[in-house]
A = this chain, B = another copy of it.
Amino acid sequence: MTTLRIAEIFGPTIQGEGALIGEPTLFVRAGGCDYRCSWCDSLHAVDSAYRHTWAPMSSEEVWTELRRLSGDRPLTISLSGGNPAIQDFGPLIALGRAAGYRFACETQGSVARPWFGDLDTLVLSPKPPSSGEQVDWGAFAKCVAAGHSARSTVMKIVIFDRADYDWAKDAHARHPDLPLYLQPGNPEVDPEVPVDPQGLADRLGWLTDTAMADNWFAPRILPQLHVLIWGNKRGV
């Protein structure tokens, strides 16, 4: 039996970003990640220093908790992390789909999994230069291929600066068929420090102005609504 390492399960609340923005969603945040992005906003699900806070749970136990949180109403379940693709979420997806739940998964695209094909929405988020990580585009292409039978596969890129923006254009050129979502990076990741909504608005305005002035109309440009509403608080 697969044992999963789970940092958080919460919801329902709205999906704050990307293709399903605004959609009532249950979140399963997996513990553990093969990346260490400089601006990571979920270090509690990434850094091994937090490993003792990750609950070892069977797929059935996760499923029981999701049913409880949703009152058995079939919602969208978002698998995030950390990188959920370093664990086996196939059995959980099978349990949920059988009950009419829909699944999305957010992953950087470094590890391909057969269960990507069972998702409703596969969100691949290659990390731009500001992250300090380097994308393996061969591995990324394997993720796209693994998701071929998902209902939709999209690309989402976080943009902190002009170098990230230029990089996103190259990334899009590699996979022009994937619907593309850009979101301004959030430099305010301390859960104890309130987020400045005007700063968030300004970053969204900057990214919009940059793309429009550049006549680049391929991406949809969206903020992180959860940060706007709740700052960096966890579990919302």
Query: Could you tell me which A residues sit within 8 Å of B by CB distance?
Result: 12-14, 21-24, 71, 73, 75, 181, 197-198, 200-201, 204-205, 208, 211-212, 215, 217, 219-223, 225, 228-230
Residues A220 and B21 in contact, CB atoms below 8 Å apart: yes
- How many angstroms from the CA of A208 to the CA of B230 in the assembled complex? 11
What does DSSP make chain A's interface, helix, strand, loop or mixed? mixed
Number of copies: 2
- How many angstroms from the CA of A12 to the CA of B230 in the assembled complex? 30
Residues B23 and A220 in contact, CB atoms below 8 Å apart: yes
Q: How far is the CB of A34 from chain B (nearest CB, A)?
A: 29
Residues B197 and A198 in contact, CB atoms below 8 Å apart: yes
Q: How far is the CB of A208 from chain B (nearest CB, A)?
A: 5
Contact flag A208-B14 (CB < 8 Å), given A21-B21, A200-B197, A220-B22: yes
Residues B217 and A205 in contact, CB atoms below 8 Å apart: no
Q: Beyond A22-B181, A24-B220, A205-B230: 14 further Cβ-contacts under 8 Å? A: A12-B212, A12-B217, A14-B208, A22-B220, A22-B221, A22-B222, A24-B211, A71-B215, A197-B197, A197-B228, A201-B228, A201-B229, A205-B229, A228-B228
Chain B residues, CB < 8 A from A201? 197, 228-229
Q: Which of B14, B71, B211, B223 lies in contact with A228, CB distance below 8 A?
A: B223
- How many angstroms from the CA of A115 to the CA of B23 in the assembled complex? 30
Contact flag A212-B13 (CB < 8 Å), given A197-B198, A217-B75, A225-B204: yes
Residues A24 and B212 in contact, CB atoms below 8 Å apart: yes
Residues B22 and A217 in contact, CB atoms below 8 Å apart: no
Residues B211 and A229 in contact, CB atoms below 8 Å apart: no
Chain B residues, CB < 8 A from A13? 208, 212
- How many angstroms from the CA of A89 to the CA of B22 in the assembled complex? 30
Closest residue of chain B to A211 (Cβ to Cβ) is: B24
Chain B residues, CB < 8 A from A228? 197, 200-201, 204, 223, 228
Chain B residues, CB < 8 A from A221? 14, 22, 24
Chain B residues, CB < 8 A from A71? 215
Chain B residues, CB < 8 A from A225? 204, 222-223
